[in-house]
Amino acid sequence: MDIIDYAEDEDELHDNYFNVHAGQSMECLVDIDKIRHNDPTFTEFYLVSEGNYFDDMNWKLLGRYIARNTHLTCIDLTEMYFDRRDMENFFSVLPFGSLASVPLKDICIESGLNTVLFESMLKALSGGPIEQISVDNGLMNDGLIDSIEVLHEVKLPCLKHLTLRGNKIVSTSGLEKCVKLETLSMSKNPINSAGCIGISKLLEKSTALEEVCICNTKIGDEGADMLANSLKHNPTCYLLEIEENRITQKGAVSFIKLMSDITSIESTYNSNHVLSDPCLISLDDSNAAKKYVDRCLSINAQPNNINKGRSKVIEFQLNGVKREELHRLQGIEYCYKSIFSEIDHLVLPDVLSLVGREHGQTELYRMLVNSVPDLFSTVNRKVVLKQKLAEKNKDIADKKIEMASLAAQMAALSAEVSEINVELESIEAKEEEREQGKRTRDGRLKH
């Protein structure tokens, strides 16, 4: 008999299944009663060990109470260990969208959900204000969820925090729909490089995601490259934890290029300066790639550095040793003199001064030797520009004199025109006066 069939017997059922004789504490019974009667002062429900004494009807009744509650904002079941039957009964009375009108923001479950039940939970929450979903099997590492494709079907417009640690998820397809996510934890899942597509798409389009934890998975160099490329224009993600994966130096280089693309000065300057958490890749500290990854993260993490791009250009582009090593790591043909084609000859002396201050006399000498022709060109260019500037200033002065003379001539002409107009008006007035007198005399003679 389904719970819907005996709605009229709810009071009797409640008394039979929720009581101290059934193993529940008085505190637990009071809390469930508050949920049942929609107590506006009760908004957070934490179920601990008493829930282990629940049978099928307990879970069905509790699901029904929650579905009609309008004040509950948090359900925390992390202290419970469920079997699949418990969750089946709990969600059996929660059809698609049934929790949309419940102001539920947080739901935390530590175990007991398989893919079907996870899908049932998300469908019940679809359209609602849920902000945090946590199905964390991180400690037990025995989660049963192997797919999150349901994210393509449901709508979770307010979801900000999603934790799915310790499950059996391989593909992250569907995550790209969760554009409001701020934190994502999917460590201890068998996610492979191909399975990174969903996370990568989310990183590409998201302007809210700040933390992504995908440690201890099966992500390799291909997945690392995919993730690094997706972060090129991401303005918010400062933490990407991908330790204890299958990422080698090749994958680490993808993140070096992300944070300090050595292709050109402009590329270095416009690299990603947001990613800053030190827990990125598990490589030996002596590894050259790891050294540069850590250094880039360190620069990005400097809170008072308002121009991190400039700092990277000075450290990596203007230091010949580091620049050569980064070219080698990133697979770019290296030529020491190539950097001078990117530097305006007029600022080259200032650049040389900067190199001497930041990298010492050895690097300054090396750069001087390679930039002598450019320096001579700079000197000659300065002379030419100064000559041209003097000539143009003289032309401007001459034109100003001409303009002043023309202005005086125009003023004189205007004065002459004014005098002519006055004289003309006087003549016309006298002629009019004589004509009027003549008409008056002619009129008298007629009479």
pLDDT in tens, 251-269: 999 999 999 999 998 999 9
User: Which one-letter amino acid corresponds to residue 142?
Assistant: D
H/E stretch holding 412 reads helix 348-446
Q: Which residues contact 320 (CB under 8 A, 6 or more apart)?
A: 336, 363, 366, 367
Q: Count Cβ atoms below 10 Å from residue 368 Cβ, excluding itself.
A: 14
Q: Quote the pTM value.
A: 0.74
Burial code (b: 16+ CB inside 10 Å, e: under 16) for 27-65 equals ebbebbebbbeeeeebeebebeebbeebeebbbbbbbbb
Segment 264-283, tens digit of pLDDT: 989 999 999 999 987 777 77
Q: How far is CA 293 from the centre of its chain?
A: 20
Q: Is 275 left (phi over 0), alpha (psi -120 to 50) or beta?
A: beta
185 touches 159 (CB < 8 A): no
How far apart CA 195 and CA 240 sit, in angstroms, is: 16
Q: Calculate what percentage of the chain has a pLDDT beyond 90.
A: 50
| Summary mean pLDDT of the chain | 85
Say yes or no to pLDDT of 1 above 50.
no
Segment 392-438, tens digit of pLDDT: 999 999 999 999 999 999 999 999 999 999 989 888 888 888 888 88
